[in-house]
Amino acid sequence: MNYNKQIEANIIACLLTDNSTLSVVEDIISTADFYLLEHKLMFEKLSKMINEGKKVDLMLLDDTLKTLDYYQEAGGLSYLAEIMRDLPTVTNAKAYADVVKKKSIQRSLEETTSKRVNSEDDPESYIEELERELDQIKNNLADKEDFIVKPEQSLTHLLNKYDDMCEKGTDISGISTGYESLDYVINGLNPGKMIVVGARPGMGKTAFSLNIANHVAESDKSVLFFSLEMEHDEIAERMLAMKSRISYKKITRALIEEHEWGPLGLKMNEYKKSNFFVVDRPGITCHDLRYFIKTHVKKYDLGLVIIDYMQLMKEPRLSRNRVQEVSYISMELKNIAKEFKVPIIALSQLNRSLENRENKRPQLSDLRESGSIEQDADIIMFLYRDDQYYDEAIQGLAEISISKNRGGENKILSFNFEGEFVTFKENKQEIRF
């Protein structure tokens, strides 16, 4: 039997004996953890009144419970008196709360694992829902104290970060993007940060993210690249063109000249041994993303996650409302970044309506399908090239417009895009807003 009536009653008695006991037990349990309805009601009312600063005794609680329809079925004053008759030791309150929490989790596990599969259910969706519920149960096991950080812990973390920066001889706290000007503005790629790179099709946002990925993967960190649009071999072709400086067109059409095979072979071997991993699965959900990251970090030192691109992610439960779906995905990307303490670069499409403007440089309002992306992201940058619209424009000249930079400045950085080699190079000059 996955509940203990006496233990639940003992908690109520402890609270009535010493109201201050609430501070001990409410760090462990909530109303939902009680099994019997009468105990749920008693704990809910007790907690509310004590937190309001009231001195609550048996008679005051009874008077409050009388307003409830369930009062008589719950036993009324006689049951409250019975609870107080066998007065427990108040010092055992934490132990009682631990037992109630354990029983609550056991009931949740039984309920989750005993669910039957409907013959019409999609097995993959069922498994995903089951795993989501199990994750929630696991989260409930976490000690709430673990999330409370003392000043000394923050200072220790800061000092360790400063020591690490001094040891590496760098003035940025995050992982380098490979671009000095960009690192300077955003302070590198920092753990827990959600970075959105938005652009219209054809601007080169995948290529830009691959340049960053290549630099991170050449360090001692791994990169997990979620390719929701391209096949894994297409990604490999772009990486090889970038690494070997051999024309992307030659690589895709197998037009490699004899003198190029040697250098290309060396880069193929280098790529084979790299810390760059592609997840080649379309339409992934946030749950899928969390699973792949959780599995990856058990084997590798994950430094960066890239999603190409976020509007291709799915959340079946919200599929009828695209704005809500994208909003949920955006919020979860930020949560996952914090949970795994890893930077996430999420590529994003922009609204087609900007094509109708005279000035086609992207703005925050152009982020597609959800305003919550702007809210959730720590950094938002837009990629723009004049040559995609105007024949007379300088070919390859690109702008990286940093339009949101939590804790930093907004700036426009100048780059050159070498399409032949899928490479972005910085011009090392900036234009202030």
Instruction: Supply the pLDDT for residue 134.
Output: 65
Q: What pLDDT band is residue 429 in, cutting at 50, 70 and 90?
A: low
Res 157: pLDDT: 67
Residue-averaged pLDDT of the chain: 83
Predicted confidence at residue 263, as pLDDT, reads 83
H or E element, residue 278: strand 276-279
Task: State how far Cα 273 lies from the chain centre.
Answer: 28
Burial class (CB in 10 A: 0-12, 13-18, 19+), 14: buried
> What tens digit of pLDDT does each residue of 410-423 get?
999 999 998 888 89
Q: Please confirm whether the linkage preceding 291 is cis (ω < 30° from 0).
A: no
What integer pLDDT is reported at residue 170 of this predicted model?
A: 75
Predicted pLDDT at 102: 84
This prediction's pTM: 0.68
Strand partners for 196: 346, 380
Domain boundaries, the chain: 5-115, 172-432
Q: What is the mean pLDDT of residues 283-305?
A: 88
The whole-angstrom separation of Cα 316 and Cα 144 is 31
Band of residue 129 on the pLDDT scale cut at 50, 70, 90: low
**Residue with token string 């706290």:** 173
For residues 217 and 386, is the Cβ–Cβ distance under 8 A? no
- How many residues does this entry show for the chain? 433
- pLDDT tens across 63-101, in order? 777 777 666 766 777 788 788 877 777 888 888 888 888
172-432: in CATH 3.40.50.980: no
Q: Which residues pair with 425 in a beta bridge?
A: 416
- Measured between alpha carbons, how far is residue 151 from residues 136, 142, 334, 430 in Å? 29, 21, 24, 37
Tokens of 85: 């008759």
Query: Among the residues of 169-285, which ranges form H helices?
Result: 180-186, 205-217, 232-244, 248-252, 258-272
Q: What is the DSSP secondary structure assignment for residue 68, as one 8-state letter?
A: S
Please write down the HEC assignment for all residues of the chain: CCCCHHHHHHHHHHHHHCHHHHHHHCCCCCHHHCCCHHHHHHHHHHHHHHHCCCCCCHHHHHHHHCCCCCCCCCCHHHHHHHHHHCCCCHHHHHHHHHHHHHHHHHHHHHHHHCCCCCCCCCHHHHHHHHHHHHHHHHHHHCCHHHHCCCHHHHHHHHHHHHHHHHHHCCCCCCECCCCHHHHHHHCCECCCCEEEEECCCCCCHHHHHHHHHHHHHCCCCEEEEEECCCCHHHHHHHHHHHHHCCCHHHHHCCCCCHHHHHHHHHHHHHHHCCCEEEECCCCCCHHHHHHHHHHHHCCCCEEEEEEECHHHCCCHHHCCCHHHHHHHHHHHHHHHHHHHCCCEEEEECECHHHHHCCCCCCCHHHECCCCHHHHHCCEEEEEEEHHHCCCCCCCCEEEEEEEEECCCCCEEEEEEEEHHHCEEEEEEEEEEC
The number of beta carbons lying within 10 Å of the beta carbon of residue 2 is 14
Reply yes or no on whether the pLDDT at 132 is more than 80: no
Classified by CATH at the fold level, domain 5-115 comes out as DNAb Helicase; Chain A (1.10.860)
The pLDDT tens digits for 372-409 are 888 889 999 999 988 888 888 888 889 999 999 987 88
Kindly state the percentage of the chain with pLDDT values over 90.
Answer: 18
How wide is the angle at C-alpha 423 spanned by C-alphas 225 and 271, nearest 5°?
Answer: 50
Model confidence at 137, pLDDT cuts 50, 70, 90, reads low
Q: Is residue 117 scored above 60 in pLDDT?
A: no
Across the range 243-262, mean pLDDT stands at 85
Q: What is the pLDDT of residues 142-201, one digit of tens each?
A: 555 556 677 777 777 677 767 676 777 777 888 899 998 999 899 899 999 999 999 988
What letters, b where the CB count within 10 A reaches 16 and e where it falls short, cover 89-100?
A: ebebbeebbebb
> Following DSSP, what letter does each residue of 307-365 receive, concatenated?
EE-GGG---GGGTT-HHHHHHHHHHHHHHHHHHHT--EEEEE-B-GGGGGSSS----GG
pLDDT of residue 304 exceeding 90: yes
What is the predicted pLDDT for the residue at 108? 77
| Weakest mean pLDDT among 210-214, 249-253, 277-281 | 249-253
Mean pLDDT of 122-131: 62
